[in-house]
Amino acid sequence: MSCDREGAILVKIHVWTREKLVMQFRYILATLALLILASCTVAPVMAGTENITDNATSYFNIAQIAISTGDYAKAVQYFDMALADNTTMISKSDTLMYVYKDKTAALTDLGRYEEALATANTGLAKYPNSSGLWNNKGYALFKAGKYNEAVDAYNRAVTLEKDYVKGWINKGMALNAAGRYDEAITAFNTALTLDPENSDATTGLAAAQKGAASAIPVTTIILVVVVIVAAGIAVWYVKFRKPATNEKEPMDKKATKEKSKNKK
pLDDT in tens, 228-242: 877 778 766 667 765
Identify which of 104, 143, 149, 108 has the alpha carbon closest to the alpha carbon of residue 126. Answer: 104
Question: Are residues 169 and 204 in contact, defined by beta-carbon separation less than 8 angstroms?
Answer: yes
- The whole-number average pLDDT for the span 8-33 is 50
CATH topology of domain 162-230: 1.25.40
| Distance in angstroms (rounded) separating the CA atoms of residues 200 and 41 | 61
pLDDT in tens, 42-93: 333 334 445 557 899 999 999 999 999 999 999 999 999 999 999 999 999 9
| Distance in angstroms (rounded) separating the CA atoms of residues 127 and 26 | 60
pLDDT in tens, 122-154: 999 999 999 999 999 999 999 999 999 999 999
How many residues appear in the chain? 264
Question: Are residues 63 and 102 in contact, defined by beta-carbon separation less than 8 angstroms?
Answer: yes
- At residue 143, what is the residue type? K
Quote the distance between the C-alpha of residue 79 and its chain's center. 17
Rg (CA), the chain: 46
- Please give the residue that has the higher pLDDT: either 84 or 41: 84
Q: What are the domain boundaries of the chain?
A: 55-145, 162-230
Q: What class is the 55-145 domain?
A: mainly alpha
pTM: 0.66
- The whole-number average pLDDT for the span 20-37 is 57
